[in-house]
C-alpha cells in the first residue's frame, strides 16, 4: 500500500506519498525550528515530534488546510505511551510519556502521526476536544489510563475505570494481574459505596434540572438493559418524552486488553484479539497478525491470504446477521432474529469444521494460519452460498420493507459525512452518509485487490440506511467468499520466514540452526525487531486498527487497539437530541457495537 508509493530521494530524505508529503513539507516551513524530530517507522507513516506549546497549532493547521487537494478529515486515534522502560528510542526526543495523535485523510488516502514528549513531573497539554468532537473521550481515556491532563477539557473524568479507582492502569508501575493486587471483596457497605460513586450527577455535566416551563427527568438506562446491547449505560435528560441530552457511560466491559498485550508474548496475545469485537471472531486476528508480520518483515503465501479473507468475510456475515436481527427486535419485530440465528448456526458449523471453535477460534498465526483447510472444506460453504441469497431476499421483505420498521427508523438519528468525520465514524456508519470509502478497496490488504466486490452506500445516514448498507454488505461478502472457494490457491498455510510462529517443524530435525530457531520460537516466542507500526482493517463495525510498539522483545512494549465502536458510541448524544426515548433505542440498535469493542 503506502510503502510501495514511497521512495528515498538522493538526499536520503524520506518522501511520503502525495498529500502526506505535502503536509510534512508545509509543517516544516510553517513551523521552522519547531519540529523536534522526524521519526522513521516500518509503516512509513510520517511521524513528527512537536513541543506541547506548539502541538495545538500544528493540529489545527493540519485540520484547516488542504494539502495537494486533500484534507486530514479525521482524528483517527489519540493515545499515549509510557516511555520510561523503553530501551530502543533512536532518533526520538527524550520523554517519559508520549502523547500520539493519529490523523487520517480519507480524500488523500494517507495518514499522519504527531507526537508530543512529556515528563512525569508535568503531565499537561492543551485539549483538542474543541477541534475534533471525538477527541473528548480519547483524552479522557488517556487521563484515566496514564494520568495525563488536558488543559481546557470540559469534563476530564475517568472514562473506563470506576471513579473510585486509584492509579492509572497503563502506567508501567500499575499492576497488570488481578492476582498481584489485593484480593477482591464486595460486602454490602462496599456495594453501596461503589453504587453511590457510579450515581449520575447532572450538575457534573453542566445539565440544568429544569427549564423555564418544565422540570427535567433524568433516566438511567443500563448498565444492564435489554436494549443497550451489553454492559453499557446512558443517562438521559428528558423533557417529557423528548430527549434533551444524554451522557453515555462506558467502562463496564474493560478487560484491560492493552495492558494484556504488554504481558503476553506476540504469539499468545492472538486469542485476546478474538475477544475485542467478540462478534468478529478471527477477523480480529487479522490487523494484529498483519501488524506483527509487517514489523517482522514476513510475506505470507497467497493461500494464507485467501483463507484469511474467506473466514473474515464469514464472520462479517455472522456479525451483520446478529446486528440485523437485534435491530429489528429493538424496534419491535421479535421474530426475524430467530430466522437469522439459523444462518449464524450454519456459518458457525463451517467455522467449527475448519477452525475447531465457534465464536473465538483464534486461528490466524503470525505468518500464516493454524492449520491447513480440512479435506472437503468447500462442500458446506457451497451449500451456504446456494442457500443464503434467497434467505437474504426473504429478510428484506420481512424487515427492510416493513412499513412500521421504516417509520421507526427513517429520518431518525441521521448525520452528514462531515459530522461523521468529526466524530471519527467509520465503516457502515460512514458509508450510510453516501461516502464511498472502504479500507478493503482504498487500501487493499491480504489480497483484497484481487476480488470483485462493490461498496454499498446509502444517502441519508439515518438508522434505516445504516441497516440497509450492512444488508447489502452481506451480499458482497457472499460474492467474495464465492471467489475464494472458486479460486483457492494451492500452497503452504504458513510462511517459511524464521519468525513465523509456531515455526515450521519439517526441517527442525534435520539441521541444528532450524532446531535452535524452532526451540527459541516455541519456548520464548518470536523476538520482533524494535519499531512501531499501525495496521488497520475494515472490520465488521468500522476501521479496527492496531498500533504496536516493539522494543526488540518477546512481548509488545505498547499495544494500542483503536476500535470503531468506541468512537461510534460517543456520538449518540449528538444524534439523538430532540428525539423520543423509543428513537434512542432505534439509534443505539443501528450503531452496531459490542461493548468489548468499546472498552477493550
Partner 1 sequence: MKWSLESAEKSSAPQRGGNDADEFIRNNVMMVTLEDMVAWGRKNSIWPFNFGLSCCYVEMATAFTSRHDLARFGAEVIRGTPRQADMIVIAGTVFRKMAPVVKQLYDQLLEPKWVISMGSCANSGGMYDIYSVVQGVDKFLPVDVYVSGCPPRPEALLQGLLLLQEQIGKQRRPLSWVINEQGIIQREKDEVQRVVRGPERIAATELRSPDEI
Smallest gap from Cβ 467 to partner 1, in A, equals 19
- Cell of residue 547, nine digits: 498500533
Site for partner 1 (CB under 8 A): which residue of 7, 179, 397, 523? 179
User: Is residue 7 at the binding interface for partner 1, with CB under 8 A as the rule?
Assistant: no
Residue range at the interface with partner 1 (CB under 8 A); choices 13-21, 169-177, 493-501, 551-559: 169-177
Contacts of 98 (CB under 8 A, 6+ apart): 80, 81, 83, 115, 116, 117, 118
Site for partner 1 (CB under 8 A): which residue of 63, 89, 358, 441? 358
Instruction: Classify the phi-psi angles of 550: left when phi > 0, otherwise alpha if psi is within -120 to 50, otherwise beta.
Output: beta
Contacts of 459 (CB under 8 A, 6+ apart): 433, 434, 465
- Cell of residue 444, nine digits: 487493499
Contact 52, 6 (CB under 8 A): no
Q: What is the DSSP letter of 222?
A: -
Residue count (the chain): 600
User: Is residue 162 at the binding interface for partner 1, with CB under 8 A as the rule?
Assistant: yes
Binding-site size, partner 1 (CB under 8 A): 59
Smallest gap from Cβ 370 to partner 1, in A, equals 10
**x/- string (CB under 8 A) for partner 1, residues 570-589?**
--------------------
The upper half-sphere exposure of residue 331, i.e. CA atoms within 13 Å in the direction of its Cβ, equals 29
Q: What is the DSSP letter of 396?
A: I
Site for partner 1 (CB under 8 A): which residue of 155, 190, 214, 416? 190
Q: Whose Cβ is closer to partner 1: residue 10's or residue 184's?
A: 184
Of 46, 55, 171, nearest in space to 104 by CA = 46
Smallest gap from Cβ 345 to partner 1, in A, equals 5
Contacts of 398 (CB under 8 A, 6+ apart): 328, 333, 335, 336, 339
Whether omega before 223 lies within 30 degrees of 0, making that bond cis, reads yes
Q: Which of the residues 365 through 394 are near partner 1 (CB under 8 A)?
A: 371-372, 374-377, 379-380
Smallest gap from Cβ 169 to partner 1, in A, equals 6
Q: Whose Cβ is closer to partner 1: residue 71's or residue 229's?
A: 229
First to last CA, the chain: 28
Q: Which of the residues 283 through 322 are near partner 1 (CB under 8 A)?
A: 322
Site for partner 1 (CB under 8 A): which residue of 154, 240, 297, 356? 356
Longest CA–CA separation in the chain, Å: 86
Per-residue burial over 559-585, b if 16 or more Cβ lie within 10 Å, else e, is: bbbbbbbbbbbbbbbebbeebeeebbb
Q: Whose Cβ is closer to partner 1: residue 376's or residue 403's?
A: 376
Site for partner 1 (CB under 8 A): which residue of 181, 217, 404, 516? 181
Smallest gap from Cβ 457 to partner 1, in A, equals 29
Contact 499, 521 (CB under 8 A): yes
**x/- string (CB under 8 A) for partner 1, residues 113-152?**
----------------------------------------
Instruction: Classify the phi-psi angles of 167: left when phi > 0, otherwise alpha if psi is within -120 to 50, otherwise beta.
Output: left
Smallest gap from Cβ 219 to partner 1, in A, equals 15
User: Is residue 223 at the binding interface for partner 1, with CB under 8 A as the rule?
Assistant: yes
User: Is residue 338 at the binding interface for partner 1, with CB under 8 A as the rule?
Assistant: yes
Smallest gap from Cβ 162 to partner 1, in A, equals 4
User: Is residue 2 at the binding interface for partner 1, with CB under 8 A as the rule?
Assistant: no
Instruction: Classify the phi-psi angles of 233: left when phi > 0, otherwise alpha if psi is within -120 to 50, otherwise beta.
Output: beta
Site for partner 1 (CB under 8 A): which residue of 85, 178, 217, 516? 178
Contact 233, 248 (CB under 8 A): yes
User: Is residue 342 at the binding interface for partner 1, with CB under 8 A as the rule?
Assistant: yes
User: Is residue 175 at the binding interface for partner 1, with CB under 8 A as the rule?
Assistant: yes
Contact 84, 35 (CB under 8 A): no
Q: Whose Cβ is closer to partner 1: residue 359's or residue 520's?
A: 359
Q: Whose Cβ is closer to partner 1: residue 195's or residue 397's?
A: 195
Contact 550, 536 (CB under 8 A): no
Q: How far apart (Å, rounded) are the C-alpha atoms in residues 41 and 240?
A: 55
Site for partner 1 (CB under 8 A): which residue of 30, 64, 151, 345? 345
Site for partner 1 (CB under 8 A): which residue of 27, 156, 337, 571? 337
Q: Pairing mode, if any, of strands 110-118 and 543-550?
A: unpaired
Smallest gap from Cβ 373 to partner 1, in A, equals 9
Three-point CA angle 466, 469, 471, nearest 5°: 110
DSSP run (H or E) holding 179: none
Q: Which of the residues 226 through 285 are near partner 1 (CB under 8 A)?
A: 226, 230-231, 251-256, 259-260, 271-272, 275, 278-279
Q: In the complex, which residues of this chain contact partner 1 (CB under 8 A)? A: 161-162, 169, 174-179, 181, 183-186, 190-191, 194-195, 198, 223-224, 226, 230-231, 251-256, 259-260, 271-272, 275, 278-279, 322, 337-338, 341-342, 344-345, 353, 356, 358-360, 371-372, 374-377, 379-380, 595-596
Amino acid at each position: 500500500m503506502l510503502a510501495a508509493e514511497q521512495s528515498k530521494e538522493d538526499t536520503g530524505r524520506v518522501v511520503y506519498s502525495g498529500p502526506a508529503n505535502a503536509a510534512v513539507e508545509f509543517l516544516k516551513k510553517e513551523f521552522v525550528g519547531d519540529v523536534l524530530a522526524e521519526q522513521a517507522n516500518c509503516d512509513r507513516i510520517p511521524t513528527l515530534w512537536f513541543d506541547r506549546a506548539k502541538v495545538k497549532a500544528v493540529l489545527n493547521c493540519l485540520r484547516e488546510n488542504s494539502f495537494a487537494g486533500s484534507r486530514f478529515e479525521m482524528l483517527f486515534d489519540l493515545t499515549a505511551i509510557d516511555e520510561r522502560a523503553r530501551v530502543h528510542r533512536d532518533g526520538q526526543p527524550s520523554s517519559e510519556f508520549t502523547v500520539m495523535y493519529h490523523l487520517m485523510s480519507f480524500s488523500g488516502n494517507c495518514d499522519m502521526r504527531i507526537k508530543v514528549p512529556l515528563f512525569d513531573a508535568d503531565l499537561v497539554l492543551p485539549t483538542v476536544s474543541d477541534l475534533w468532537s471525538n477527541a473528548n473521550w480519547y483524552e479522557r481515556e488517556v487521563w484515566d489510563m496514564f494520568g495525563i491532563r488536558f488543559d481546557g477539557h470540559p469534563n476530564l473524568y475517568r472514562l473506563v475505570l470506576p471513579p473510585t479507582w486509584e492509579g492509572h492502569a497503563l502506567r508501567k508501575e500499575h499492576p497488570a494481574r488481578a492476582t498481584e493486587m489485593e484480593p477482591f471483596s464486595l460486602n454490602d457497605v462496599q456495594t453501596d459505596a461503589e453504587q453511590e460513586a457510579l450515581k449520575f450527577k447532572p450538575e457534573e455535566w453542566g445539565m440544568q434540572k429544569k427549564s423555564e416551563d418544565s422540570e427535567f427527568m433524568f433516566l438511567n438506562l443500563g448498565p444492564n438493559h435489554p436494549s443497550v446491547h451489553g454492559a453499557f449505560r446512558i443517562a438521559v435528560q428528558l423533557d417529557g418524552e423528548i430527549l434533551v441530552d444524554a451522557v453515555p457511560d462506558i467502562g463496564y466491559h474493560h478487560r484491560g486488553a492493552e495492558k494484556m498485550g504488554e504481558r503476553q508474548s506476540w504469539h499468545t496475545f492472538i486469542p485476546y484479539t478474538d475477544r475485542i469485537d467478540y462478534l468478529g471472531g478471527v477477523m480480529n486476528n487479522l490487523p494484529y497478525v498483519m501488524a506483527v508480520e509487517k514489523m517482522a518483515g514476513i510475506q505470507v503465501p497467497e493461500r494464507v491470504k485467501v483463507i484469511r479473507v474467506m473466514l473474515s468475510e464469514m464472520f462479517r456475515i455472522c456479525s451483520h446477521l446478529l446486528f440485523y436481527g437485534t435491530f429489528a427486535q429493538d424496534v419491535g419485530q421479535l421474530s426475524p432474529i430467530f430466522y437469522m440465528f439459523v444462518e449464524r448456526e450454519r456459518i458457525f458449523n463451517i467455522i467449527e469444521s475448519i477452525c475447531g471453535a465457534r465464536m473465538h477460534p483464534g486461528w490466524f498465526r503470525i505468518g500464516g494460519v493454524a492449520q491447513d483447510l480440512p479435506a472437503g472444506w468447500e462442500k458446506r460453504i457451497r451449500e451456504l452460498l446456494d442457500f443464503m441469497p434467497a434467505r437474504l431476499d426473504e429478510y428484506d421483505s420481512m424487515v427492510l420493507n416493513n412499513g412500521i420498521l421504516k417509520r421507526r427508523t427513517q429520518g431518525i438519528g441521521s448525520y452528514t459525512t462531515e459530522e461523521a468525520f468529526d466524530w471519527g465514524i467509520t465503516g457502515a456508519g460512514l458509508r450510510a452518509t453516501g461516502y464511498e470509502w472502504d479500507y478493503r478497496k482504498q487500501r487493499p490488504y491480504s489480497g483484497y485487490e484481487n476480488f470483485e466486490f462493490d461498496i454499498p452506500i446509502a444517502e441519508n445516514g439515518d438508522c434505516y440506511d445504516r441497516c440497509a448498507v450492512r444488508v447489502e454488505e452481506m451480499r458482497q461478502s457472499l460474492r467474495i467468499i464465492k471467489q475464494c472457494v472458486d479460486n483457492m490457491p494451492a500452497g503452504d498455510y504458513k510462511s517459511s520466514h524464521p519468525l513465523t510462529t509456531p515455526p515450521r517443524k519439517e526441517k527442525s530435525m534435520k539441521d541444528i540452526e532450524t532446531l535452535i530457531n524452532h526451540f527459541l520460537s516455541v519456548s520464548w516466542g518470536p523476538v520482533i525487531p524494535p519499531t512501531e507500526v499501525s495496521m488497520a482493517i475494515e472490520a465488521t463495525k468500522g476501521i479496527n486498527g492496531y498500533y504496536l510498539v516493539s522494543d526488540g522483545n518477546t512481548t509488545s512494549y505498547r499495544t494500542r487497539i483503536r476500535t470503531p465502536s468506541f468512537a461510534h458510541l460517543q456520538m449518540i448524544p449528538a444524534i439523538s437530541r430532540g428525539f423520543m426515548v423509543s428513537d434512542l433505542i432505534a439509534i443505539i440498535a443501528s450503531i452496531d457495537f459490542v461493548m468489548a469493542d468499546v472498552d477493550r
